[in-house]
Amino acid sequence: MKIATIGVGYVGLVTSAVFADLGNDVISVNRDKQKCENLKKGIIPMYESDLADLVSRNVKLGRLKFTTDYAEAVPNADIIFIAVGTPSLADGSADLSQVKEAAATIAPLLENYTVVATKSTVPVGTNRIVGEILSAGKKSNATFDLASVPEFLREGSAVKDTMHPDRTVIGADAERSREMLIKLHKPLKAPFVLTTIESAEMLKYTANSFLAMKISFANAIAEICEKVGADVTDVMDGIGMDKRIGRAFLYPGPGYGGSCFPKDVKALIAIAKKAGIDFHLLHAVEDINAGQIDRILDKIKIMVGPLKGKTIAVLGLTFKANTDDVRASQPIEVIKRLLKLGASVRAYDPIAVPNAKKKMLASLDEKKFIYAENTVDALKDADVAVIITEWDEFVRLDFSQAEKVMRQRNVVDVRNLFDPEKVKAVGFRYVGMGR
């Protein structure tokens, strides 16, 4: 099939590369000329395992092309995927300006019959708006059907998740569009969820909000465990064996972050409000998540007392491992709070320092904040090591080496990566989450 994708973020770029790898002809459209030129050379704009190789291979095979010109991609496409950003507005609702702009640009270029499918995460009713824009702007001889095909990829394993999905959701009204999308996705060998456009739109927000809820639930239970002398790891292992519950996402830590969960929880609250419903449960999910920063700071204070004049080593700058994405990053929020409280910070991340520098440029105090060159450099003269991101490099932390460079032997293990007794046995004071 001939595919056009609008947008080269995580969703658009991975979607383009995977469908090209399955033998389709894919043209990916983006307004940024430099980004397109880089992609033609196999230079991708984010850190994502296996993606650079996938893009390079399919560009060389001629199955994947990048352009700034909609007219090069749209007229001959069988299926067009809209995969642009939908960030949060001030009231928490989704900003649909990029989706509407994409639809308005596509409309006059449509030829014959085309399936226009939205992969962006959008509120219920958005595809109907897209349909109105297309109908108003298209030529009289062009016809189209709408579809909603939400993605469920995770940053850090986006290629794997797209190639081996748990399910493929196709929301479509017309049989022709549904059959074309089934044919396109069939090589992925995942069960199909065939539903209406509105149900598909709702499904994505529901999935992400439920996962965010599991994270907040685990953090709430961890706080109780600390008060009553239980170990949250044992508790979550125990309930996770129940097939009705499952172990995934029941890990206490710094809370959820990144580009999806925070905005999708807010968007579902806004969707509910528009429908006249106060989603109390998701408000609690957000409150618990926001409180995790305070809990981390409290643990640091337990270790070192007043923070003014103390040196804190922060290991990890991303909201999770295996990505360079620092959007809604808990480690960065922790660092900002530490600096405000008078501490000095030495921070290290294996991948995300360039992105973190862009994020923290305005608030950077070079006298108080240092980007370390490696883990040992970050620990130099530190009063406490705070491990916030679960990079493998930190899981393998050599405490005997850490002891030689740190001022005090204190560890705040925000991800519960280590066995507390083993850490204590080598002379360190240890505090985790819910332990």
For the annotated catalytic residues, the residue numbers are 260
C-alpha–C-alpha distance, residues 265 and 6, integer Å = 25
Collapse the DSSP code of 2 into the 3-class scheme (helix H, G, I; strand E, B; otherwise coil) and give the result: strand
For residue 381, what are the contacts with CB-CB under 8 A and spacing of at least 6? 311, 405, 406, 407
Distances (CA, A) of 259 to 161, 204, 249, 310, 328: 17, 14, 17, 32, 7
C-alpha–C-alpha distance, residues 197 and 148, integer Å = 5
For residue 175, what are the contacts with CB-CB under 8 A and spacing of at least 6? none
In terms of Cα–Cα distance, which of 414, 418, 420 is closest to 433?
414
List the structure tokens of 298: 């409290």
Beta bridge partners of 36: none
Alpha helices of 61-113 — where are they, by DSSP H?
70-73, 97-106
Q: CA neighbours within 13 Å on the CB side: how many for 382?
A: 32
List the structure tokens of 291: 């409180």
Calculate the dihedral angle through the C-alpha atoms of 344, 372, 321, 421, rounding to the nearest 10 degrees.
-70
211, 251 Cβ separation under 8 angstroms: no
| Complete edge-to-edge strand list for the sheet that includes strand 168-172 | 64-67, 25-29, 2-6, 79-82, 113-118, 143-148, 168-172, 192-195
List the structure tokens of 424: 């204590």
382, 356 Cβ separation under 8 angstroms: no
